[in-house]
Chain A
């Protein structure tokens, strides 16, 4: 599987996996307030620059897994290693995009994007980079707007720009497209994929939507009851065509697995 990944990476000359973080989880366990563990002894290795999708039923622990990787939660047992160093806290190299845009309503679009840069970056530099990344997501002309004047899709693009402005090595996407309409969602998927290909960060997408997972990811992890129940590569070359039979076949297999385990 890793050979296949390497092959496809070579195919995309623009993709630079060296720009991403490698992640290793060993015996990771997490329980809240002494309750039953949400994550049970999970082992996982994600090579730098990989696009991983994590799917699973509600409450399977996939969001907790994401928060553990980002260092937003402390593991009860086991450890998270990010690029060799033991990770804690979401520094400038790790960014998350939430299901909701979570923009500051009282800050203009460009200032919201600049939130993604630390205060150690000089003001003029922050503004310049914010405008640059807004251009990348196609919202350059909205830089001076209030978030309240944007559509839902535009707000989520601002949130994407905020996550990307610091050029993170790891981008965590916590169901960021769930609230968008179908067409906007496809546009966003293509935009995220394009930027990922150009920048080469490691991407972890948590999603309910198996179709979205197979369309975007290199590899799909199905999480069930706190462990990885299925780990499948998506060996379909990019750019991928919507409705590709290979994708549909894979989507069917994963859905079957998810539904087959219905209690």
Chain B
């Protein structure tokens, strides 16, 4: 089982290119955040203008025979493929499997990252003990561990969880640590002078002060979470969206491949929107997060 997966996981150049395409798509939205001050009165509809135009143009090009549907299916074909797979239940099953992997990997890696970030931010001893080690491990690209991880875990859930957790760990660790370090020392002194004990100081001053930075870490981590999962599922899996796309490629079902890529994009956007909503609730005090 593990052997056949390992064989399949040595794809040709074309496969790598396909695997890389959704990665590029994911990387963009999470990095283009700071431009939010540019707002026009048309408000909520405006951001969707460009995607709509692209889809309409794409459909027109396909219908007029300008692009070969063998390599780039029309949007309506992709929608039809989606409908077909939804009917058979295949789509939901793979979607659920991928979501569960992403979420559990994120919770495990993010939880550990948060723990070490807090511990090293609050305790010099803990930082001296672990930070150098963590920084060294950080410089290993986690995706380069895929061959090793396949040897260890085969293509089981463990492999995906491990990779996602590892990828998610560092942004959350580094940003939590930075957030705690950059809490205004004057506020901490004020808390002490006004009689807060260590627990109160943490919950009322340190943690809220570190929260904006922790959220930055969460956003980066969400990007890395999808990226890692897609690569892992594309290379070695027997379920999930990435597996669905790879299967479809073998049968030349281009519409399903494109469908999978679009679903990745939609899931990434959804995760980003959820984080934003959470930021708006948790960071309402910060003028930078109001009215976004």
Contacts and interface: CB of A to CB of B under 8 A. Distances in A.
B286 interface: yes
B16 to A, nearest CB: 46
- Interface class of chain A by DSSP: loop
A238 interface: no
A72 B211 CA distance: 29
Contacts of B186: 98, 100, 102
A105 B285 contact: yes
A96 interface: yes
A178 to B, nearest CB: 15
Contacts of A116: 194
A145 to B, nearest CB: 10
Contacts of B189: 102
Interface centre among B189, B190, B191, B208 (most CB of A within 10 A): B190
Interface string A91-111: 110011010101011110000
Interface in A99-139: 100, 102, 104-107, 115-116, 118-119
Interface in B39-72: none
Contacts of B208: 104, 106
Interface majority SS (helix, strand, loop, mixed), chain B? helix
A98 B286 contact: no
A104 B286 contact: no
Interface in B192-210: 193-196, 200, 204-205, 208-209
A148 B200 contact: no
B193 A119 contact: no
A92 B195 contact: yes
Nearest to B208: A106
Contact of B205 (A72, A91, A104): A104
B195 A102 contact: no
Contact of A104 (B187, B193, B195): B187
B285 A98 contact: no
A179 interface: no
A86 interface: no
A96 B193 contact: yes
B210 to A, nearest CB: 11
Given A90-B195, A107-B204, A119-B200, A102 B190 contact: yes
A10 B186 CA distance: 40
Interface in A59-104: 70, 72, 90-92, 95-96, 98, 100, 102, 104
B287 interface: yes
A96 B186 CA distance: 13
B200 A146 contact: no
Contacts of B287: 148
B195 A118 contact: yes
Contacts of A115: 191, 194, 196, 204
A147 B193 CA distance: 20
Nearest to B197: A119
A65 B57 CA distance: 75
A104 B286 CA distance: 11
Nearest to A92: B195
A107 B286 CA distance: 10
Interface of A: 70, 72, 90-92, 95-96, 98, 100, 102, 104-107, 115-116, 118-119, 146-148, 162
Given A106-B208, A162-B194, 6 more contacts: A72-B193, A95-B194, A104-B205, A106-B285, A107-B204, A146-B284
14 contacts: A70-B193, A72-B193, A90-B193, A91-B195, A92-B195, A96-B193, A98-B186, A102-B186, A102-B187, A104-B204, A105-B286, A115-B191, A116-B194, A147-B285
10 nearest A-B pairs in the assembled complex, by CB-CB distance:
A106-B208, A102-B190, A106-B285, A146-B285, A148-B287, A90-B193, A105-B285, A102-B186, A115-B194, A118-B195
